[in-house]
Structure 1
Amino acid sequence: MSAWITRFPSPASPGLRVAVKDAIDVAGVVTTAGSAVVRDRAAAAKADAECLAGVRAAAATIVGKTTLTEMCVSPVGDNAIFGTPVNPLAPLLIPGGSSSGSAVAVATGEADVGLGTDTGGSVRIPAACCGIAGLKTTWGRVPLGGVWPLAPSLDVVGPLARDVAGVVDGMRLLDPAWGSLPAPARVVGRLRVEGVDSAVEDAVDSALDEAGLTVREVRLPGWDDTYEPLDAIILGELWQAHHALLDADGLSDFVAGALHAARDVSPQRLAKALTARTAWQAEVTSALTLVDVLALPTLVASPPPLTDFARFPLTQLTAPFNLAGVPALALPVPSPGPAPVSLQLVGPMNGEELLCATGLALEGVLQPAARS
């Protein structure tokens, strides 16, 4: 199935081709959020989303709006109404979501940069599934005006590209204040989370070792306590933004179920979750004063098949960093299998330049090995 919900005319002049997730407003086009219900109730956007200002200023070409999971709710990348984009590395595996179309458009060469949103991993997960790079930006760095909300206190917009250099190109479009890259990280904090496949851990360790980085083991004791506040915030803010869609005809069972669960999130539960987030942010910030960046896999194992993904914990290694608000870069590293293992680098608030500099240095060492 196509990665696209809407295609625009091919560019007449050279320049970056940009694929925009159909949760981001493009002037004159209906934003569907991957939902027939939303599409049928919406009018064409009167203006571009604020995050596209740099795209227009750079004379990059928006080549279309891409498929996503309905209302950005699922990290799988499937969509029964608009079609599920085919993972170009392995058609039987999930493409990852919710920014599935943007990832597939980049991976198949139909776009140079894909723009996605990330609330619990929705840029990094499809990047990992499709063997490309993707950057979750610092919360608040890229404006969200004109972006379909899932959980506004977690949502970010970020770029996907075939490599980290392409991610840098995407950040220059998204953030006019994007600076020159610093020196790469020297000290990496290696984070290990229970339940990760040993082959995945070995591939990450090998990549860090081959790159010659100084690696220190780190722990985040509060890691396991992040899942409840994440769930409460996502559901609570989903309800605040979209309660009018409860029981709307045409919603998928998955989204309808999420809205029903969201209705039951009490103000007390949400307030407790926000307090827990503050403590978690402080813990991650403290860890990043001892090392330059954190390193761990993006996924716990190889991407699951489209026919059997229900028990795969897709967001286990990504969502805690949405709760922290910090930036995180996913990039492939050499490993066997149709989908290479994805390394996740996590930096301090507004540390995207450091992450990209480190990612570029890693690619410089690892890509020749990947091609051999």
Structure 2
Amino acid sequence: MSQQPVPVPDGLVDAFWEYERALMADDLPTLDRLFAPGASTLRGDANGLLVGHDQISAFRGGRGGAPKRRIVQTHVQTIDRDHALVVAITELERGGRGQQTQLWARTRDGWKVTAAHVATAAPALDTRVWRLVGDPLVEPLGHGDLDGETVAVKDLYAVRGQRIGAGNPAWLDEARVEPVHARAVELLLEAGAAVRGIARTDEFAYSLAGANTHTGTPPNPKAPHRISGGSTSGSASAVSLGHATIGLGTDTGGSIRVPAAYQGLFGIRTTHGAASTYALLPLAPSFDAVGWLTRDAGLLRRVGEVLLPPAPRNPRHDLVAVPGLIRMAEDDVAAVVDGFAADHGAMRESWDLADLSLWLQAFQTVQAWEAWRERGGWLTGRLDTLGADVRGRFEAASLIDDDRADAARGVLAGARERILDLLGDRVLVLPSASSVAPLLGQGLQAVRDATMGLTCLAGIAGLPAVSLPRSTRQGLPTGVCLVAAPGRDRDLLDLAADLG
């Protein structure tokens, strides 16, 4: 007996085309209506899986519309009278083809999408991550401990024959072609590494978010649909995505530690002045420090052997945890850091943190004063080339006079002495960032302020800090930060390799 084809259920095709028209018009209410309500609705793409109608709706509301396309082929596989799978082949206006697969269910309110997967042709170059990329962009200059490794260079370091873009197209247009490599880049090349490319940064590195008005937010594959963390955003994403093995960056107020925490990477901010900043575009020279990110602690240490000056090892690693600092993080992050401290026998100690807010304010004042001293001459008359958040910081920086900066430096001198005295020869355990990576589109200023209350300690005292990747109970990346006395970078790298 032959089996008859199952007919397409009534109303399904009309619902499918209504959805497609709404998608092209960015008609958010209709799209919300056509996706099934509840916590079990799914939408997936190359960036990750969204679970629940609310997450899907928030994603659509923040992306600014879907890429323009047309449907060139559809196929319906009927499951039963109330369920069907619709597969559509799409042709994108920008070129290339994609595929959309949707599971539809008939409800009392009509047909609804209960699960969807979207696939599009991958770009030849993800310009959110890279400004310039090669295969490689720069060949190694020698052989050594980094043979076979590839580097994503933050767009603040000089790469011979290229320009420094600093995350701002107007600056890039006027930048000179660099005659030499930055010393950090040169050392990596001499040790056998190749430069994979020049990676995106937040504008002039004056941010912790990773969101760049001009080029977008680099993806965070460890926490899809969440920010990447900045300002070493492109380098971090390149490493997390597997495009490079080493992300060379900088850390002024947390720009290695934050993306490391958000993306589940190992990262180090080096002792201020320990690694060469030659041919590196500064933000705030009193706090700028060379740093890098990797996917494993062994490579993090091997890069340190190349970029750090020789130093005697101190095998003693007495850990100290300050509950008041740990509680500055959100509960899920604090639980991870507190558990790490307990598992590794950290001594718990109460520090007087009454002046911490004053220290942070002084740090941000001096950072801003120096940033305007470095970039203000060029930015005068060009502030409109900046994204709103970075522009606001530079506008505020332009109003800081020398007397105010001098007073802040006085506060920092006392703070530095106090931090060094409290820390001594021990290793401080604290959160690398105050929270997991915020969702794209969320307000970020409060997160920035909370995180800098933690990260400013290393910046104020010029201390080395290593971020170790961990996960919250919800499975999101976070970081445990280890901070030691100046010059103990190699000790921290050894400890990171031991603790993983």
Question: Match for residue 5 of structure 1?
Answer: 131
Q: How does 1:320-359 map to 2 (within 5 A)?
A: 320-359=457-496
Deviations 1:97-132 (A, max 9, x none): 000111111111111111111110001000011011
Structure 1, 256-265 or 135-144: larger mean CA deviation: 256-265
Say whether the 8 Å CA contact 2:150–2:194 is kept in structure 1: yes
Q: 1:270 to 1:197 in 2, by over 3 A?
A: same
Say whether the 8 Å CA contact 1:89–1:338 is kept in structure 2: no
Structure 1, 86-95 or 217-226: larger mean CA deviation: 217-226
Structure 1, 325-334 or 3-12: larger mean CA deviation: 3-12
Say whether the 8 Å CA contact 1:246–1:259 is kept in structure 2: no
Say whether the 8 Å CA contact 1:21–1:101 is kept in structure 2: yes
Q: State yes or no: 1:102 paired with 2:228.
A: no
Q: Report the AA paired with residue 350 of structure 1.
A: G
Measure, in 2, the Cα distance between the counterparts of 1:56 and 1:243.
33
1:117 alignment partner, SS class? strand
Q: Report the AA paired with residue 243 of structure 2.
A: E
Say whether the 8 Å CA contact 2:304–2:490 is kept in structure 1: no
Structure 1 length-normalised TM: 0.91
The equivalent position to 1:252 in structure 2, one of 381, 387, 401, is 387
Structure 1, 232-241 or 301-310: larger mean CA deviation: 301-310
Displacement of 1:180: 7.3
Q: Report the AA paired with residue 443 of structure 2.
A: F
Displacement of 1:307: 0.6
Q: State yes or no: 1:81 paired with 2:207.
A: no
The equivalent position to 2:342 in structure 1, one of 209, 232, 239, is 209
* Structure of higher RCO (CA pairs closer than 8 Å, 6+ residues apart): 1
Say whether the 8 Å CA contact 1:204–1:341 is kept in structure 2: no
Structure 1, 292-301 or 220-229: larger mean CA deviation: 220-229
Say whether the 8 Å CA contact 1:296–1:344 is kept in structure 2: yes
Measure, in 2, the Cα distance between the counterparts of 1:337 and 1:201.
13
Question: Match for residue 368 of structure 1?
Answer: none
Measure, in 1, the Cα distance between the counterparts of 2:346 and 2:430.
14
Q: Report the AA paired with residue 100 of structure 1.
A: S
Deviations 1:148-185 (A, max 9, x none): 1111111011111112222112212322x245754251
Say whether the 8 Å CA contact 1:207–1:334 is kept in structure 2: no
Q: State yes or no: 1:285 paired with 2:420.
A: yes
Measure, in 2, the Cα distance between the counterparts of 1:168 and 1:283.
29
Q: Report the AA paired with residue 114 of structure 1.
A: G
Deviations 1:57-98 (A, max 9, x none): 212111111011111111100112223210111221110000
Measure, in 1, the Cα distance between the counterparts of 2:314 and 2:457.
26
Deviations 1:243-271 (A, max 9, x none): 12123152222233222211110111111
Say whether the 8 Å CA contact 2:223–2:262 is kept in structure 1: no
Q: How does 1:185-224 map to 2 (within 5 A)?
A: 185-193=317-325, 194-211=327-344, 213-221=345-353, 222-224=355-357
1:158 alignment partner, SS class? strand
Q: Report the AA paired with residue 168 of structure 1.
A: R
Q: Report the AA paired with residue 186 of structure 1.
A: D
Question: Match for residue 286 of structure 2?
Answer: 153
Q: State yes or no: 1:301 paired with 2:435.
A: yes
Question: Match for residue 315 of structure 1?
Answer: 452
Displacement of 1:239: 1.1
Displacement of 1:138: 0.8
Deviations 1:195-248 (A, max 9, x none): 42223222112223333x242324153322212111211110111111121231
Question: Match for residue 276 of structure 1?
Answer: 411
Name the Cα RMSD after superposition. 2.0
Measure, in 1, the Cα distance between the counterparts of 2:339 and 2:266.
18
Unaligned 5+ segments in structure 2 are: 1-125, 141-146
1:149 alignment partner, SS class? coil
The equivalent position to 1:120 in structure 2, one of 253, 261, 264, is 253
Measure, in 2, the Cα distance between the counterparts of 1:341 and 1:170.
23
Say whether the 8 Å CA contact 2:321–2:341 is kept in structure 1: no
The equivalent position to 2:188 in structure 1, one of 55, 61, 64, is 55
Say whether the 8 Å CA contact 1:133–1:331 is kept in structure 2: yes
Structure 1, 272-281 or 199-208: larger mean CA deviation: 199-208
Q: Report the AA paired with residue 192 of structure 1.
A: G
Q: 1:84 to 1:214 in 2, by over 3 A?
A: closer
1:90 alignment partner, SS class? coil
Question: Match for residue 156 of structure 2?
Answer: 23
Write 1 or 2 for the structure with the bigger share of strand: 2
Measure, in 1, the Cα distance between the counterparts of 2:393 and 2:265.
29
Q: How many residues align?
A: 360
Say whether the 8 Å CA contact 1:6–1:65 is kept in structure 2: yes
Deviations 1:246-304 (A, max 9, x none): 23152222233222211110111111111111111111111122x51111111222221
The equivalent position to 1:261 in structure 2, one of 380, 396, 399, is 396
Measure, in 2, the Cα distance between the counterparts of 1:347 and 1:242.
31
Q: Report the AA paired with residue 8 of structure 1.
A: G
Measure, in 2, the Cα distance between the counterparts of 1:220 and 1:25.
42
State the identity as a percent. 30
Which structure has the greater CA radius of gyration? Answer: 2
Measure, in 2, the Cα distance between the counterparts of 1:258 and 1:214.
38
Say whether the 8 Å CA contact 1:187–1:214 is kept in structure 2: yes
Displacement of 1:309: 3.1
Measure, in 2, the Cα distance between the counterparts of 1:343 and 1:255.
28
Q: 1:270 to 1:208 in 2, by over 3 A?
A: same
Q: Report the AA paired with residue 3 of structure 1.
A: V
